[in-house]
């Protein structure tokens, strides 16, 4: 289980494919871990050197005392590339990982040739709601959040037809680190890139779920109008679109990072 020290955290990561191939980093959503990218690992490792990691506070990464900041989440990615001696990569992040991708595109454009931000926004939700969720999780743990996550993550049809996948993700959330989750909620509470994304100068693909109740197509359209030369791809899915519509998702990302 490879890990490295980044700032004050121990970050767990896994790599797949040939190191001579172009590097592609995947960044997970709040309450998940790198296993959420299995459909992408299977698809992209044939053509890319795939790097997946658990965001601090998630999975097998450590959960130092928070609150965390979006800058910390982004710097962990830069440090991971340095640890692997990779000068430049493509990046794909979903939800919280999509905010991380925007921060990277703003502050470290020299390290990335393409950035894909999925089911995300330049500001996700409302600060007070995130702070209340952080307090709730610290008080009651992650089980109450996990019990309702499926309805936010997937369409009802997907939940009905893929109960095993949904159950695994919900169980992973329930078994997660409450302090790490809460500290990431506090990062999301403060993260607001609505003005800063206009400075992005590298190619960006925005993937927006047409049935996503958390980060909507309108959020994607806002980012597309603000980020120069960005592209918007709508996908018929809810919030975890890389799993719900894996084949469509994979083709869209591959087309962009190959030709975008």
pLDDT (mean) for 162-179: 97
Q: What sign does the CA torsion over 30, 26, 56, 184 have? A: negative
How many domains is the chain built from? 1
Give residue-wise pLDDT tens across range 203-226: 999 999 999 999 999 999 999 999
Give the CATH number of the domain where residue 99 resides: 3.40.50.1820
Q: Which domain holds residue 158?
A: 3-259
**179, containing H or E segment:** helix 178-190
Is the pTM here over 0.75, yes or no?
yes
Asked if residues 209 and 237 have their Cβ atoms less than 8 Å apart, the reply is yes
Average pLDDT value for residue range 172-181: 97
Neighbours of 12 (CB within 10 A): 21
Q: Which of 68, 6, 69, 56 is nearest to 27 (CA)?
A: 56
92-119 residue pLDDT tens:
999 999 999 999 999 999 999 999 999 9
pLDDT in tens, 27-63: 999 999 999 999 999 999 999 999 999 999 999 999 9
Residue 29 per-residue DSSP state: P
Assign 232 to helix, strand or coil. strand
CB 153 within 8 Å of CB 241: no
Q: What are phi and psi of 170, to 5 degrees?
A: -65, -40
* Residue 169 pLDDT greater than 80, yes or no: yes
pLDDT for 260 equals 65
């Amino acid at each position: 289980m490879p890990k490295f020290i980044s700032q004050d955290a121990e970050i767990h990561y896994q790599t797949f494919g040939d190191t001579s191939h172009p590097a592609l980093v995947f960044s997970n959503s709040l309450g998940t871990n790198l296993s959420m990218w299995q459909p992408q690992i299977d698809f992209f490792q044939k053509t890319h050197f795939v790097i997946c990691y658990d965001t601090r506070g998630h999975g097998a990464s450590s959960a130092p005392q928070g609150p965390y900041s979006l800058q910390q989440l982004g710097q962990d990615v830069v440090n991971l590339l340095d640890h692997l001696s990779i000068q430049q990569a493509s990046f794909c992040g979903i939800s919280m990982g999509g905010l991380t991708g925007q921060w990277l595109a703003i502050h470290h454009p020299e390290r990335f040739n393409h950035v894909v931000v999925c089911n995300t926004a330049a500001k996700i939700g409302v600060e007070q709601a995130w702070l209340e969720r952080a307090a709730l999780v610290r008080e009651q743990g992650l089980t109450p959040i996990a019990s309702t996550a499926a309805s936010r993550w997937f369409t009802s049809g997907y939940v009905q037809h893929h109960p095993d996948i949904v159950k695994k993700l919900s169980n992973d959330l329930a078994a997660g680190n409450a302090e790490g989750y809460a500290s990431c909620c506090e990062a999301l509470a403060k993260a607001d890139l609505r003005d800063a994304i206009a400075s992005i100068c590298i190619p960006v693909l925005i993937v927006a779920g047409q049935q996503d109740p958390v980060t909507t197509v309108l959020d994607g359209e806002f980012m597309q109008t603000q980020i120069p030369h960005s592209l918007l791809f709508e996908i018929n899915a809810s919030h975890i679109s890389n799993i719900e519509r894996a084949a469509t998702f994979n083709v869209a990302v591959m087309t962009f990072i190959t030709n975008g």
